[in-house]
Structure 1
Amino acid sequence: MENSCSEITHYDALVVGGGFKGMMAAYGLRKQGKSVLIAEAAKTLGGFMTPLSWKGVELDKGPQYLDGVTRAQKNILDDIMAEFEPLNALDFSYASYWNNQLTADFAIPDYRTLPVEQRALLLYESLHQTAQEDTIHGSIADEFNENCPVSTHYIKNWCRKFLGVEADELSPINKSFVTFFGRKLLLENDLSLELKTLPLLDDVLAAEKKTVNHQTYNLYPMGRNLGYFRTAFEYKLQGLGVDSLLESQLVELQKSQQGLVATIETQQSTRHVTADNVYFSGTVESTEALLLGTQELAGYIKPVSQVFYYAELEQHQNLPFYTMNYSNDSISRVTYFSDYGADSENGKPVICIEVPAEMGSSIWQDPDAHFPVVSKELSAMGIVSVADFKAFKVPSTYRLILKGYEDKLSSMYDLVLQRYGNGVTILTPHLLTRASIMTDLTNVGVLNLD
């Protein structure tokens, strides 16, 4: 999407940030009849939806799809894809690996691989934890007090492995980012289903459902990558008349009698745009720095850096969509792209292997040297015959929220309201799924689901 900012210098709405959230905000506002300008720092809209290229094919940055989408949200996505091939509703399969065992159909840890004594303690601890769930906790670790030593051991280990942060540093907000919270796979399926009829145990035990109630959808452009959806979305916004300034930066926002005056710098010039409302969809710390000139929130946000190993396999294998690895291996997750995406130019399947790695660590500095370890771990998971691989460094996958963030964010909101009034909206910055982003935009009146 090329720069399409017309000579108009006033817009009903300015959207700062052109990732999925900013694009969906612009879509919703334009559908309400408002004139909209997106200011985006990158060369294209779409943010993390922009794919990587390897082996003659474009590949997602890890497993990406539109999951948990409601019927009303699907209608919006169908409208976005109107002039492109429709998104497919997929039933993904998952698996987990722990204690040298693969468990099909569950992405959560299989505690049934533990000795029965530990499982009994975990069941007891889970009941105690559930009984205390109304308590407001300052960190993830606070949910597992001195009465939950077994649970604490596993949760702390997995926070270190998957997130690279101690559990007592993490805000409870992060529970939505990971797969090792919530219901536990502790008992055999039939017994679990029977016990789950009791409300307290329903929140504790996990089981495979006898029937699946399709109230939500997992959507994806089958045989392609999410970049196809990004392209369609960009095309839709252009057709709706949404203007954009790419490779641009909002450097100043002032309140005036004409509304909000935005100073936007591009590579060619500086633009001054007035807007009735400004919506911030980018990182909350950059928003704080611009609006308030402070950097309080930056200390409460930690990006998770990972090395993504893309591997071409010699032949297709019967693998799930993705497999979570809860062992002490370096691998956190393996995604079988060919389960729903495209094969390589050689007609061979491609997998994505995620390895959390601190920037500056030995793995980050020389990911190729670590691949023999990765290959051995893959073999233990039943994935063999790697023909070729390439490592990509991704500095920010998830953005972790540290303890104390909520109070700082609330304080920031209050200060922004005092300085700029109701014309500035900071869209909820810590949502994980695209469906939750759409729900949030609906709740603040930006996106109508009619």
Structure 2
Amino acid sequence: MKSMFSYDLMESTRNTNEWLGASARAMASYPVWGLVPHPMFKVMSAWGRITERSFARMVIKPDWGIRTVVGEDGRDHLVEIETLVTRPFGDLIHFRVLGREQSKRRVLLVAPMSGHYSTLLRSTVTSLLPDCDVYVTDWHNARDIPVSEGKFDVEDYTLYLVDFMRHLGSDIHVVAVCQPAPLTLAATAYLAGVDPEAQPRSLTLIGGPIDPDAAPTEVTDFGRRLTMGQLEHLAIQRVGFKYAGAGRLVYPGLLQLASFISMNMDRHAQAFSDQILRASQGQASERDAHNRFYDEYLSVMDMTAEFYLSTVERVFKNREIAQNTFTVEGRHVDIGAITDVAVKTVEGEEDDISAPGQCKAALDLCTGLPEAMKASHLEPGAGHYGIFAGKSWRENIRPLVLRFIDQNSGDRPARKKAAKAKIRAV
């Protein structure tokens, strides 16, 4: 009950701040204050609007907001989101472009489960849609999943990816962004061992911690400093009575958000201070740069306790992926079994979360893959976010990823060789 009390206390604090913001906005907006034209009322109203909006966003799942895409014919085509596979902890969704022939490039974007919703990849999806048929893993908020649905850890996550890849077929190209990179590599290796025909054509790993010790950062050092017992005591709580997942052990989104903000407290404080000033002067707008960024940044989701703890223990502390000792349901997942899936890694030179070297370690693990099917790219001056969104992604990385996909869209060399050998044997 103690951890459930803590969860509800955080939610009560969030709710109270939202109410305070709404109250300040309403009070300072009364027309009667026009008789006393003091700037204090404009500042109070601006503070109230921004405070109410900010704390309200924390419990709202953002909308994808992708309505149309320009086709090769130069016309706008409507985009419809359809759910292809439904699972308790996450769905496989498809951005279907109406009135357009299916693109030859079929891309599965594996979104992170690291505190934010899959909509964090909105700009990535938007940039790929004109040239690709895009599928995305849409993870669910753990607070909304009843305890009766059971657990969800790194092995379950891996098996979800295996099911999604099998559903989409072997002509899919997988792009994993950040946190899911090591587990996506493991899912591909799992398929290589049990169902080789279901493997994707190519695998692009962007800024993921394949080997956290290859280039230690503040994130990896934090995991090293704390024992699993300390981490569980500090981070894990039970979902409160307000949500369908009441009683489920989670790493709360609000606690994660507090951690995110504390890493750059001065920058966030300045951003909100500047926005309040702009709003009081009538210069802020509904979809300005500040609101676009923070509407997404402040929208957080709970992770199941077992997923968070098993990620820290098995990926970061024990380095099971990096040492090729990862197991799923008792089966060793041998990354060396990948022999005909082209693998590319993308890293940012200024990435302070998954530093250069952590992701590229995947190429050394693929011992069964010919060097000609391996590729890597280090983006100069790019931080963690910039390697999958923003200018660096749009102008440099995206064209490289599309070229890599095109280069590996034909017949698989290993399978073609095996097929010829089978014919000769007959």
Which of structures 1 and 2 has the larger relative contact order (alpha carbons within 8 angstroms, sep 6+)? 1
Which has more helix, going by share of residues? 2
- Range into which the TM-score falls when normalised by the shorter chain: under 0.3
TM-score relative to the length of structure 1: 0.24
